Amino acid sequence: MPADMIIGVENSRFFCLTAASMFGNRKVCAHRHSDEQTVRATGAKIYATDTALKVCNLVMEMTGRTVHAGLPY
């Protein structure tokens, strides 16, 4: 399980950095905000959000706790 979490987080980071680098590299994408850039950035955001939710749920399952905001453990 921890290995799956690490792989998911690293994949999310790579996907987000790849999408972000497209906005700064005009040789790859000539237009400033092309549809391809928008699609990749949106996909990276959705993937990273889903991965973060899965990792948080797995950590709560592993610790056996349900954490509520503002309440002590």
Domain extent, residue 24, equals 2-63
Give the number of residues written for the chain.
73
Question: pLDDT by residue (tens digit) across 6-17?
Answer: 999 999 999 999
Task: Say yes or no to pLDDT of 49 above 90.
Answer: yes
Domain membership of residue 69 (yes or no) is no
- Is 44 part of any domain? yes
Q: How far is CA 4 from CA 9, 29, 41, 46, in A?
A: 9, 33, 23, 18
Q: Which residue has the tokens 């549809």?
A: 35
**Mean pLDDT, to the nearest integer, of 44-61?**
91
pLDDT band at residue 37 using 50, 70 and 90 as cut-offs: confident
According to the model, what pLDDT value does residue 65 have? 65
Tell me what pLDDT residue 31 has: 62
Q: Tell whether the model's pLDDT for residue 71 goes beyond 60.
A: no
Total tally of structural domains belonging to the chain: 1
Q: Is 27 helix (H, G, I), strand (E, B) or coil?
A: coil
Please work out, in degrees rounded to the nearest 5, the angle formed at the alpha carbon of residue 6 by the alpha carbons of 25 and 4.
120
